[in-house]
């Protein structure tokens, strides 16, 4: 019925933008080829065009007159939408119900819900999670893991080739210390026992041993000497030393797998490319940087300097490529990694989902890599930084005793609390099913809490709030989804027939319009590496649905035609919520 304009490119907003732009190309002088019409959602209409005022200013004409000229040039407007000049020079755009309904039908019939892939498909490396071998993961790793995983999902859905890289801390001086301690205290070696059942307690043993070793290292100079020697043995490939290292790494990986399983993230064994992977490249990188004069010797160390990076004493602060003792630190590993990712993995984009405290480090690494030619102008590298995790008191998140909170314990707690709530709300539910749901809800709550706030800020981790399951929490979205499923279950499986010649009620209209915004949101998430935009969108969608749910009965709709349309809206909303939650890494159970 709508002919040409009913062929949607992505969203109604994008269609409106296309229409306005083509009208502008006729109405405006050719000196304004690509002026932005600034299409935005509006409270006064469906969309508003803001760009005419600034363009009129530059042209020296009356903005209302210009807006009027543009509106006149818009083709086929009545069938699709009405455009009217308002205020100082806005154009208010009100879509026809027909246009909105035909868009609903289109999305429902598309297995990607009408979401296009990105215009250019890129190879994107995402470096995230980065736990340390022989140490327990903490809430900082949780943030990196959750944010990075969501970005991986969104970018994959957008059609990019995503290469996940879990840059494990599996190498370096601390391993000399750890292995030496192990050798000197064989009887407590936790890697000797390899019963797979007690994985998490083994990591605790490993963790405990790490701390004991660290304590000795900090207090006993002779142990420091022996540890240094052990590092040399490790790097030289001494068999006994390597055996111990392998055992420790294997133990830790079992633990990581357990955490990742519980979190339901995409990371697998194949994504684990730790620091040790780059060990064999370090000599070459150091030699290369020196040969290219990117790095120079200073106080015995091989350093890269930057004009604008100085310490408190006013002297330049280097990125140390090789220590005075000949060893390598993490800077060299990061340089080897960035080169590997650009040259071997052929990355167009490299994202580092890492704590914001490492901002300066990455600034130096990126700059050094550019100077050395490891990445050229076409490669985008970005430190996707996030703030610290704080407790409800606003101080660093620790236990009462001041220890780092164990991640597994935290997740177990979340799941357990969710289980209690679920059993309370559904006394008829079996224990097994309740636990299954509890995992989806509990983990979803933890993830949503993190993903719903902008990542650059410090993040207050408040288990009580996220698991109260009230208001803006993960459970709210899951609940909305489950309610829709409950409605849909009452209808036969035959797909609803959408008719576009039906007048829409305001709640239907708002819902249909909002559900149409998903592709634009996903594009924004890609653009900014900010999954919280998706979280906010889904919350708004769930809330808009719930209002619709209260005001527009589906089962007992006034007519069969309206019922069909409402079923279609329900189905599209459910699919959108499910997809959106999935892209955040959160499950969408059919019942709650």
Partner RNA sequence: GCCCCUGUAGCUCAGCGGAUAGAGCAACUGCCUUCUAAGCAGCAGGUCGCAGGUUCGAGUCCUGCCGGGGGCGCCA
For residues 57-86, which are near RNA according to CB under 7 A? 57, 86
Of the two residues 104 and 538, which places its CB atom closer to RNA in the complex? 538
Binding to RNA (CB under 7 A) within 201-260 occurs at none
Of the two residues 346 and 489, which places its CB atom closer to RNA in the complex? 489
Interatomic CA distance for residues 394 and 155, integer angstroms = 33
Candidate residues 105, 108, 154, 485; the one interacting with RNA per rule CB under 7 A: 485
Look at the block and give the residue holding tokens 């940087």: 289
Interatomic CA distance for residues 256 and 274, integer angstroms = 13
Determine, following the binding rule CB under 7 A, whether residue 156 of this chain makes contact with RNA.
no
> Measured at the alpha carbon of residue 91, what is the angle toward residues 85 and 95, in degrees to the nearest 5?
110
CB 167 within 8 A of CB 337: yes
The token pair at 488 is 């849909």
CB 198 to RNA: min, Å: 27
Interatomic CA distance for residues 446 and 340, integer angstroms = 34
CB 269 within 8 A of CB 253: yes
Q: Is 307 helix (H, G, I), strand (E, B) or coil?
A: coil
Determine, following the binding rule CB under 7 A, whether residue 378 of this chain makes contact with RNA.
no
* Eight-class DSSP state of 272: B
| DSSP sequence for 1-47 | --GGGGS-SS-HHHHHHHHHHHHHHHHS-TT-TT----EEE-SSSSE
CB 346 to RNA: min, Å: 25
Closest CA to 430 of 591, 586, 581, 588: 591
CB 323 to RNA: min, Å: 3
Q: Is 118 helix (H, G, I), strand (E, B) or coil?
A: coil
Candidate residues 189, 200, 258, 388; the one interacting with RNA per rule CB under 7 A: 388
Range in contact with RNA (rule: CB under 7 A) among 116-124, 144-152, 339-347, 486-494: 486-494
CB 186 to RNA: min, Å: 25
CB 523 to RNA: min, Å: 11
Determine, following the binding rule CB under 7 A, whether residue 592 of this chain makes contact with RNA.
yes
Of the two residues 165 and 174, which places its CB atom closer to RNA in the complex? 174
Candidate residues 30, 221, 312, 427; the one interacting with RNA per rule CB under 7 A: 312
Look at the block and give the residue holding tokens 């370090």: 282
Of the two residues 162 and 321, which places its CB atom closer to RNA in the complex? 321
CB 533 within 8 A of CB 458: no
Site map (CB under 7 A) of RNA, residues 421-440, x = contact:
xx--xx----------x---
CB 116 within 8 A of CB 521: no
Of the two residues 231 and 375, which places its CB atom closer to RNA in the complex? 231
Range in contact with RNA (rule: CB under 7 A) among 47-55, 214-222, 238-246, 345-353: 47-55
CB 121 to RNA: min, Å: 24
CB 361 to RNA: min, Å: 5
Candidate residues 25, 189, 356, 561; the one interacting with RNA per rule CB under 7 A: 356
Candidate residues 65, 357, 399, 506; the one interacting with RNA per rule CB under 7 A: 357
Closest CA to 474 of 490, 494, 450: 450
Of the two residues 156 and 536, which places its CB atom closer to RNA in the complex? 536
CB 124 to RNA: min, Å: 22
CB 502 to RNA: min, Å: 17
Q: Is 383 helix (H, G, I), strand (E, B) or coil?
A: strand
CB 196 to RNA: min, Å: 28
Of the two residues 324 and 380, which places its CB atom closer to RNA in the complex? 324
Candidate residues 98, 549, 565, 573; the one interacting with RNA per rule CB under 7 A: 549
CB 334 to RNA: min, Å: 9
Site map (CB under 7 A) of RNA, residues 491-530, x = contact:
---------------------------------------x
Range in contact with RNA (rule: CB under 7 A) among 74-82, 109-117, 212-220, 549-557: 549-557
CB 4 to RNA: min, Å: 27
Interatomic CA distance for residues 249 and 258, integer angstroms = 14
Of the two residues 159 and 396, which places its CB atom closer to RNA in the complex? 396
Candidate residues 26, 65, 310, 409; the one interacting with RNA per rule CB under 7 A: 310
CB 436 within 8 A of CB 383: no
Of the two residues 312 and 558, which places its CB atom closer to RNA in the complex? 312
Interatomic CA distance for residues 80 and 103, integer angstroms = 11
CB 272 within 8 A of CB 131: no
CB 512 within 8 A of CB 552: no
Candidate residues 5, 6, 25, 42; the one interacting with RNA per rule CB under 7 A: 42
Determine, following the binding rule CB under 7 A, whether residue 554 of this chain makes contact with RNA.
yes
CB 122 within 8 A of CB 348: yes
Binding to RNA (CB under 7 A) within 324-353 occurs at 324-325, 327, 329-330
Site map (CB under 7 A) of RNA, residues 442-481, x = contact:
----------xxx-xxxxx-x--x--xxxxx--xx--x--
Q: How many CB atoms lie within 10 A of CB 319?
A: 25
Q: Is 332 helix (H, G, I), strand (E, B) or coil?
A: helix
Of the two residues 162 and 352, which places its CB atom closer to RNA in the complex? 352
Binding to RNA (CB under 7 A) within 264-303 occurs at 275, 298-301, 303
Size of the site for RNA (CB under 7 A): 104
- Please report which residue ranges of 354-430 form alpha helices under DSSP H: 359-372, 407-425
Of the two residues 78 and 550, which places its CB atom closer to RNA in the complex? 550
Of the two residues 59 and 345, which places its CB atom closer to RNA in the complex? 59
CB 350 within 8 A of CB 127: yes
CB 497 to RNA: min, Å: 18
Binding to RNA (CB under 7 A) within 90-119 occurs at 90, 92
Element (H, E) at 205: helix 199-219
CB 50 to RNA: min, Å: 3
- From residue 287, give the alpha-carbon distance in Å to each of 279, 283, 284, 295, 366: 14, 6, 5, 9, 18
φ/ψ of 396, rounded to 5, equals: -45, 135
Interatomic CA distance for residues 76 and 441, integer angstroms = 47
Interatomic CA distance for residues 518 and 508, integer angstroms = 17
The token pair at 189 is 């070696």
């Amino acid at each position: 019925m709508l002919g040409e304009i009913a062929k949607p490119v992505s969203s109604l907003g994008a269609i409106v933008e296309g229409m306005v732009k083509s009208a502008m190309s006729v109405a405006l002088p050719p000196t304004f080829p690509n002026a932005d019409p600034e299409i935005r959602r509006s409270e006064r209409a469906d969309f508003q065009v803001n760009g005419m005022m600034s363009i009129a200013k530059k042209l020296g004409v009356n903005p209302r007159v210009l807006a009027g000229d543009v509106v006149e040039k818009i083709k086929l407007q009545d069938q699709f939408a009405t455009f009217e000049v308002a205020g100082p020079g806005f154009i208010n755009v009100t879509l026809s119900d027909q246009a909105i309904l035909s868009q609903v039908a289109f999305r429902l019939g598309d297995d990607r819900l009408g979401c296009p892939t990105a215009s250019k498909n890129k190879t994107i490396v995402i470096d995230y999670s980065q736990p340390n071998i022989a140490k327990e993961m903490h809430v900082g790793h949780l943030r990196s893991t959750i944010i990075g995983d969501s970005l991986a999902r969104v970018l994959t859905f957008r059609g990019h080739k995503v290469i996940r890289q879990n840059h494990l801390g599996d190498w370096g001086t601390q391993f000399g210390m750890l292995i030496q301690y192990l050798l000197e205290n064989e009887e407590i070696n936790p890697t000797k026992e390899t019963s797979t059942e007690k994985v998490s307690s083994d990591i605790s043993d490993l963790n405990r041993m790490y701390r004991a070793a660290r304590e000795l290292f900090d207090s006993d100079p002779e142990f420091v000497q022996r540890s240094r020697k052990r590092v040399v043995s490790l790097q030289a490939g001494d068999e006994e030393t390597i055996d111990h290292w392998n055992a420790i790494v294997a133990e830790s990986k079992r633990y990581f797998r357990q955490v990742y399983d519980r979190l339901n993230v995409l990371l697998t064994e194949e994504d684990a490319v730790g620091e040790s992977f780059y060990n064999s490249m370090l000599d070459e990188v150091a030699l290369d940087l020196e040969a290219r004069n990117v790095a120079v010797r200073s106080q015995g160390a091989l350093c890269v300097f930057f004009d604008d990076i100085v310490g408190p004493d006013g002297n330049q602060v280097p990125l140390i490529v090789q220590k005075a003792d000949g060893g390598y630190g993490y800077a060299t590993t990061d340089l080897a990694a960035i080169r590997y990712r650009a040259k071997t993995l052929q990355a167009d984009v490299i994202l580092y989902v890492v704590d914001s405290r490492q901002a300066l480090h990455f600034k130096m690494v990126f700059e050094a890599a550019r100077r050395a030619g490891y990445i050229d102008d076409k490669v985008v590298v970005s430190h996707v930084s996030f703030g610290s995790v704080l407790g409800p008191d606003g101080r660093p998140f620790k236990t009462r005793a001041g220890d780092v909170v164990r991640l597994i314990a935290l997740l177990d707690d979340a799941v357990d609390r969710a289980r209690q709530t679920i059993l309370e709300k559904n006394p008829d539910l079996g224990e097994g099913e309740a636990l299954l749901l509890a995992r989806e809800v509990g983990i979803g709550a933890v993830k949503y809490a993190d993903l719903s706030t902008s990542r650059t800020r410090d993040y207050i981790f408040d288990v009580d709030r996220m698991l109260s399951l009230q208001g803006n929490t993960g459970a709210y979205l899951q609940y909305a989804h489950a309610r829709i499923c409950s409605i849909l279950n009452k209808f036969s499986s035959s797909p609803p027939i959408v008719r576009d010649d039906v007048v829409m009620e305001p709640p239907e209209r708002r819902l249909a319009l909002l559900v149409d915004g998903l592709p634009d949101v996903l594009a924004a998430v890609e653009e900014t590496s900010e999954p919280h935009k998706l979280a906010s969108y889904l919350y708004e969608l769930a809330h808009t649905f719930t209002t619709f749910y209260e005001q527009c009965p589906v089962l007992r709709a006034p007519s069969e035609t309206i019922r069909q349309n409402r079923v279609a809206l329900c189905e599209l909303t459910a699919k959108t919520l499910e997809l959106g939650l999935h892209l955040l890494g959160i499950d969408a159970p059919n019942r709650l």
